Amino acid sequence: MAETLTIDFTHNQSAHCENGVVSNLMKHNGFDISEPMVFGIGSGLLFSYLPFLKVNHAPVFTYRSMPGSIFNRFAKRVGVKMKREKFKNPVRAKARLDENLAKNNPVGLQVGVYHLIYFPDEYRFHFNAHNMVVYGKENNRYLISDPVMEQVTSLTEKELEKVRFAKGAFAPKGHMYYPIAFPKKLELEKAIVKGIKQTSRDMTAPVPVVGVKAMRWVAKNIRKWPKKLGAKRANHYLGQIVRMQEEIGTGGGGFRYIYGAFLQEASEILRNDALRTLSKEITEIGDAWRDFAVDASRIYKNRNTQSEGYEDIALQLEHIADREEAFFKRLKKAV
């Protein structure tokens, strides 16, 4: 007989999967924490360029911190205890998931996107750091709250196993996580300041692979690509920047908007007006990222490899780097 395990869980759509899962799990446990607050306290905003790591035959450009780190930092900073588990054996992974559901405990999962049947085809590529909540089981189908989807959905046991044990970079290995203990009250003030300080530090770090220095390195490389890589690969690399920015977890522009919303909330909690002004500024920088993405996609969609097009967007990226460097230096001083 098919078992039914349903938990009274409220699905809220969010702009990004990991923040959305954390926010929804916190709300389920009685703490009204918004998605931007999770993102800001968890120091989710980052820019990183990893030319030695390839996904879909192009370098990795990431606009956020490592998968899982937002939840880890958020939990640590607000005093929530988390349990994380990974599995070699899918049978064991399924058993642990079912055990949690039987205890009325919704669970966050890290999964691969490629085999997620409810995603539109154009969003299904080999990316293994997507997050969702499983909140029950009906007729051998798992009930899924995927924060980037408008409505809840469901997957069969086989379909869920396939995405939990996807292969490749960042393979999830059945990764599941859930909160197990909470403080009486969340100490948000200190947590906000810690989150802001780390993001400001990361974005102005003196190393070439992260922050504004990484943006400048990418801009330098963009100029060389047409000659160095030839038309086809230069186009593919450019497409990767935009895809990582606009499609994988809302990326560059979108993350700046979420961060702006965080700073606005933080300005009220900390009674700090400077943060409200900075909130407007990072939102405008988000607009500049969007313009950059539109111009870059115009080049690769037209298969245009004239180097002045590449020169143009390299300059745009350098301008964004200058603005972000000034912004994060001021932000650090503001707290």
Residue 267 in this model has a pLDDT that exceeds 50: yes
Task: Please give the residue that has the higher pLDDT: either 238 or 304.
Answer: 238
Model confidence at 191, pLDDT cuts 50, 70, 90, reads: very high
Query: For 295-310, what is each residue's pLDDT tens digit?
Result: 888 887 776 556 678 9
Residue 176 in this model has a pLDDT that exceeds 70: yes
Residue 247 in this model has a pLDDT that exceeds 70: no
Beta strands in the chain (DSSP E): 5-6, 45-55, 58-64, 81-85, 107-111, 130-138, 141-145, 153-156, 176-181
**Quick check: is 294 in a domain?**
yes
Do 279 and 230 belong to one domain?
yes
Do 152 and 193 belong to one domain?
no
Do 158 and 89 belong to one domain?
yes
**Quick check: is 74 in a domain?**
no
Residue 252 in this model has a pLDDT that exceeds 70: no
**Quick check: is 44 in a domain?**
no
Do 245 and 292 belong to one domain?
yes
Do 28 and 150 belong to one domain?
yes
Cα–Cα distance, 234 to 236 (Å, whole number) = 5
Name the domain boundary from 116, 151, 181: 181
Model confidence at 195, pLDDT cuts 50, 70, 90, reads: very high
Cα–Cα distance, 173 to 310 (Å, whole number) = 39
**Quick check: is 204 in a domain?**
yes
Max CA pair span of the chain: 66
Do 9 and 86 belong to one domain?
yes
Q: For all residues of the chain together, what is the average pLDDT? A: 90
Name the domain boundary from 154, 181, 208: 181
Residue 45 in this model has a pLDDT that exceeds 90: yes
Average pLDDT over every residue of 156-164: 96
Range of the domain at 24: 5-32+81-181
Do 142 and 199 belong to one domain?
no
Do 325 and 193 belong to one domain?
yes
Do 269 and 291 belong to one domain?
yes
DSSP structure string for 173-238: TT-EEEEEE--SS--HHHHHHHHHHHHHHHHT-SSTTBHHHHHHHHHHHHHHHHHHHHHHHHHHHH
Reported as half-sphere exposure (CB side, CA atoms, 13 A), residue 224 has a value of 6
Do 213 and 108 belong to one domain?
no
Provide the number of structural domains found in the chain. Answer: 2
**Quick check: is 305 in a domain?**
yes
Name the domain boundary from 181, 212, 241: 181
Look at the pTM and tell me if it is higher than 0.85. yes
Do 267 and 310 belong to one domain?
yes
Which pLDDT score is estimated for 1? 47
Average pLDDT over every residue of 125-152: 91
Which pLDDT score is estimated for 230? 87
Average pLDDT over every residue of 171-184: 93
| φ, ψ at 124 (rounded to 5°) | -95, 95
Q: 25-45: string of b/e by CB count within 10 Å (b at 16+)?
A: bbebeebebbbbbbbbbbbbb
Which pLDDT score is estimated for 303? 60
Which pLDDT score is estimated for 53? 84
**Quick check: is 18 in a domain?**
yes
Do 95 and 217 belong to one domain?
no
Give the CATH number, domain containing residue 14: 3.90.70
| φ, ψ at 211 (rounded to 5°) | 70, -155
Cα–Cα distance, 209 to 189 (Å, whole number) = 30
N-terminal to C-terminal alpha carbon distance within the chain = 58
Question: Would strands 81-85 and 107-111 be described as parallel, antiparallel, or unpaired?
Answer: unpaired
**Quick check: is 212 in a domain?**
yes
Query: For 62-83, what is each residue's pLDDT tens digit?
Result: 888 887 789 899 999 999 999 9
Give the CATH number, domain containing residue 323: 1.20.120
**Quick check: is 309 in a domain?**
yes
Strand partners, 54: 59
> Position 254: which residue type?
G
Residue 29 in this model has a pLDDT that exceeds 50: yes
